Amino acid sequence: NRRIVLAAHPQGAPKPEDFRLEHVEVPVPAEGQVLLRTLHLSLDPYMRNLMDEVGPSYMPAVPLGRTMVGATVNRVVASRHPQFRAGDLVLGNAGWQDYALSDGSDLRPLGEMAQPSLALGGLGMPGFTAYVGLLDIGQPKPGETVVVAAATGAVGAAVGQIAKLKGARVVGIAGGADKCRYAVEELGLDACLDHREPALAERLAAACPDGIDVYFENVGGAVFDAVLPRLNDHARVPVCGVIAHYNDKTLPPGPNRLPLAMSIVLQRRVRVQGFIILDHYAERFDAFRRDMGEWIASGRVKLREDVVAGLENAPAAFTGLLEGRNFGKLVVQVAQD
């Protein structure tokens, strides 16, 4: 039984020494518990925030020496819980390890899904984030212009495709020519701009001749700077993530552009709204599963996974996520079923 623990709080980008691979006994379930074998581990940007000494307000930080947390697809290998049987496939929170115990309260039965890892991506938390952020907060109307950052990622790819389904004109922003080509040719976006190339602001202005009505913020940094001047009156900005800043140790050097940003928010009556997806499960998850299930089944939403083989490769893959090395939803294949 292998597990990866947090060895040190990263200073800036996580390094291999910030993680430690340990070998421990396979735990034995007590009455009321199940023993889980991890098949797939989801790697997600929020985990970076949990590695700091003080975690975000919405989730506790991972203490030093403890197993890194994460959503997982698991096979129940032994059960002393009345609702689960050995062999059940479940969505769980086993974290970065081969085996884990659960009291069942955090498990969701998956039945026999054809592609269970989708429960970690398009049919799970990231897809749900796209759905709530875009539809409930962004509220795109037919003909409006939607811009989405990290447009080929787990959240962004769903945002762009749902926005197209709702009749919007969609411009993606992504890192590299391959991702941009994929966003247009496979995901069906109207245009996609490479944020690694120069003059993003000018190219964005040319790609959005009618301005921007919805900006789905995944990134922050230079991408937000390029978007800000193009926001229309009454634009909506769901603030989902600012991944460009997760490794920052200090605020960036000046000039201080907050007064400019706030003036634009004021004069153009922009609605900027942060959200944490954990708040929305009770009210919206069933509607999401129904709609997204239909869109995927009918081929109107396509999903791409970036599958990394082997638990031992999770730290490097996670570091790559914060640098844009993943192409699609990043999932670790921990064991073959």
Least separation in angstroms between residue 145's CB and ligand NDP is 19
What is the chain's alpha carbon radius of gyration, rounded to the nearest angstrom? 20
Tokens of 37: 């074998």
Q: How far is the CB of 13 from ligand NDP (least distance, A)?
A: 10
Task: For residue 119, give the 3-state DSSP assignment.
Answer: helix
Q: Is residue 138 involved in binding ligand NDP (CB under 6 A)?
A: no
With contact defined as beta carbons under 8 Å apart, do 104 and 30 qualify?
Answer: no
Q: Give, as ranges, the residues between 162 and 221 that touch ligand NDP (CB under 6 A).
A: 174-175, 179, 195, 218-219, 221
Q: How far is the CB of 286 from ligand NDP (least distance, A)?
A: 18
Which residues within the stretch 217-246 sit at the binding site for ligand NDP (CB under 6 A)?
Answer: 218-219, 221, 223, 240-241, 243-244
Phi first, then psi: give them for residue 90, nearest 5 degrees: -135, 155
* Angle at the Cα of 14 from the Cα atoms of 327 and 52, rounded to 5 degrees: 115
SS3 of the chain: helix, strand, coil, percent, to 5: 35, 25, 40
Whole-number Å distance between alpha carbons of 162 and 11: 37
129 binds ligand NDP (CB under 6 A): yes
Figure out which of the listed residues 277, 301, 308, 317 binds ligand NDP, where binding follows CB under 6 A.
277
At its nearest, how many Å lie between ligand NDP and the CB of residue 99?
Answer: 25
From the list 96, 109, 75, 89, the residue with the least C-alpha distance to 1 is 96
Query: CA angle, corner 172, sides to 170 and 173, nearest 5?
Result: 155
Q: Is 294 helix (H, G, I), strand (E, B) or coil?
A: helix
Contact flags string 296-325 toward ligand NDP, x per CB under 6 A:
-------------------------xxxx-
**Size of the residue set binding ligand NDP (CB under 6 A):** 32
Q: Of 3 and 329, which has the nearer Cβ to ligand NDP? A: 329
Q: Under the rule (CB under 6 A), what is the footprint of ligand NDP?
A: 44-46, 126, 129, 150, 152-156, 174-175, 179, 195, 218-219, 221, 223, 240-241, 243-244, 275-277, 321-324, 326, 329
